[in-house]
């Protein structure tokens, strides 16, 4: 009741702000305007879901013989999902520590879940991890090195920071009581809030199969053509504003049970004449009924197989769920020394990361 009252009151204030000027001096229509406004508020309260989360903490890092430490706010996201009908919805997501992340509309074309059409800006379906929310990931630095590099989450200068999202069209659905799920994306390939840099589009395919309870097998692939927005140490053969081949393939698994949650993936990518590949395995083990988990991860990625630009990363830590989707995390992160064809680039990296995550959701009972 309190949540319902809060969202209705918030919507009423917003609508009142927009309508106050028009209502001034129109006493005869005040009653009609108020009734109309109340109907709109009631409709929105019954059809809108509100979500938000924040992640921030403290990091200590030793890299190339230098020590740094800082408090930081990593993400502050807020999104609203409007369910207009049982088939048609709209979502808007903004990161207050960054930029607008997503805005798209979904339309379910079939009576069941076989086919839904999505249009707008959203996470691409490449890799097992990329579509997942940071609030469900074990690692404080979120995704594996391979996923971050290949999906456009930020480590490849050729792509820039795309947050794993893009503008485009998606067809997705599921069959056999959810055992099979597919997704086909046609996207710009240039990232969020950007027009396409060339005339080609990226096509991304994703297939998921759940043979038994708790196990999900995932295969994804991409055929595309990139447009470089900056030079890259990992791929010196591609120049600024050059169009280049950008293909990817991944295979992975995700297993969840009361005793362990674990997922892993093999990834490979081709940018022009350069190939990159890697694999990771990440998981957590609950410690009885303490609401505390041991978290661990091993991650290997070779950014340029011709130059042997490989890196190893290991994570060990604890997380404590103190309220629903809210947690405290402490992790030690090690990254190996980085070389290219035997030439030194930078020393090994040691870090201690601490993070608090707060997530809250308002979901009207009619929409659950």
- Mind listing the pLDDT tens digit for each residue in 61-84? 998 788 999 999 999 999 999 999
Q: Is 9:17 a contact under the CB 8 Å cutoff?
A: no
Among the listed ranges 32-46, 221-235, 322-336, 348-362, which one has the minimum average pLDDT value?
32-46
Please write the tens of the pLDDT for every residue from 4-54: 544 555 554 444 444 444 444 455 566 776 776 677 667 767 789 999 999
The CATH number of the domain covering residues in 2-367:
2.40.160.10
Q: What is the reported pLDDT for 53?
A: 97
- pLDDT, position 47: 82
Q: Is 246 within 8 Å of 228 (Cβ atoms)? A: no
Burial tier of 109 (Cβ tally within 10 Å: 0-12, 13-18, 19+): exposed
Residues 6+ apart with CB under 8 A from 248: 126, 150, 220, 221, 222, 267, 268, 269, 270
How confident is the model over 142-169, as a mean pLDDT?
A: 93
Vertex 268: Cα angle to 64 and 246 (nearest 5)? 95
Percentage of the chain with pLDDT > 90?
A: 75
Q: Residue 252's pLDDT is what?
A: 98
pLDDT at 7: 52
pTM, 2 dp: 0.86
Q: How far is CA 132 from the centre of its chain?
A: 5
**How far apart (Å, rounded) are the C-alpha atoms in residues 320 and 338?**
33
Count CB-CB contacts under 10 A for residue 53. Answer: 19
Q: Which of 271, 353, 268 is nearest to 315 (CA)?
A: 353
Over residues 101-114, the mean pLDDT reads: 97
C-alpha–C-alpha distance, residues 76 and 95, integer Å: 5
pLDDT at 32: 73
What are the residue ranges spanned by the domains of the chain?
2-367
Identify the pLDDT of residue 13: 45
Q: CA–CA separation, 8 vs 44, rounded Å?
A: 8
124: closest CA among 176, 48, 189? Answer: 189
The pLDDT value recorded for residue 23 is: 46
- Phi, psi dihedrals of residue 242, rounded to the nearest 5°: -85, 140
Q: Please say if the pLDDT value at position 118 is more than 60.
A: yes
The predicted pLDDT at position 24 comes to: 47
pLDDT-derived band of residue 347, with 50, 70 and 90 as boundaries?
A: confident
d(CA 361, CA 91): 14
- Distance between CA 276 and CA 198 in Å, rounded? 23
Region 269-273: mean pLDDT is 96
pLDDT digits (tens, 9 = 90+) for 285-344: 999 889 999 999 999 999 999 988 989 999 999 999 999 899 999 999 999 987 666 666
Tell me, what's the pLDDT at 258?
A: 93
């Amino acid at each position: 009741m309190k949540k319902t009252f809060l969202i209705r009151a918030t919507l009423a204030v917003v609508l009142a702000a927009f309508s106050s000027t028009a209502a001034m001096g129109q006493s005869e229509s005040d009653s009609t305007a108020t009734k109309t406004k109340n109907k709109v508020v009631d409709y929105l309260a019954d059809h809108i879901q509100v979500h938000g989360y924040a992640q921030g903490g403290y990091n200590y890092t030793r890299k190339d013989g230098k020590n740094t430490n800082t408090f930081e706010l990593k993400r502050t996201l807020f999104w609203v999902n409007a369910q207009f009908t049982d088939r048609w919805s709209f979502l808007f997501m903004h990161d207050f520590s960054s930029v607008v992340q997503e805005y798209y509309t979904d339309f379910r074309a079939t009576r069941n879940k076989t086919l839904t059409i999505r249009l707008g800006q959203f996470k691409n379906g490449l890799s097992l991890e990329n579509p997942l929310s940071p609030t469900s990931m074990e690692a404080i630095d979120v995704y594996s090195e391979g996923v971050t590099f290949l999906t456009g989450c930020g480590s490849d200068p050729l792509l820039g920071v795309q947050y794993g999202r893009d503008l485009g069209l998606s067809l997705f659905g599921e069959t056999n009581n959810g055992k099979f799920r597919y997704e086909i994306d046609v996207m710009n390939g240039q990232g969020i809030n950007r027009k396409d840099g060339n005339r080609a589009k990226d096509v991304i395919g994703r297939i998921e199969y759940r043979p038994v309870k708790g196990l999900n097998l995932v295969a994804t692939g991409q055929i595309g053509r990139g447009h470089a927005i900056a030079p890259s140490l990992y791929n010196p053969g591609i120049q600024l504003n050059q169009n280049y081949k950008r293909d990817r393939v991944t295979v992975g698994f995700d297993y969840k049970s009361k005793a362990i949650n674990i997922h892993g993936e093999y990834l490979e990518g081709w940018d022009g004449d350069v190939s990159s590949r890697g694999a990771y395995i990440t998981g957590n083990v609950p410690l009885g009924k303490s609401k505390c988990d041991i978290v661990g991860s091993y991650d290997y990625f070779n950014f340029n197989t011709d130059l042997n630009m490989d890196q190893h990363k290991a994570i060990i830590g604890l997380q404590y769920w103190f309220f629903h989707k809210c947690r405290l995390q402490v992790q030690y992160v090690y990254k190996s020394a980085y070389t290219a064809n035997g030439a030194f680039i930078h020393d090994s990296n040691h870090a201690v990361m601490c993070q608090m995550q707060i997530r809250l959701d308002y979901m009207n009972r009619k929409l659950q």
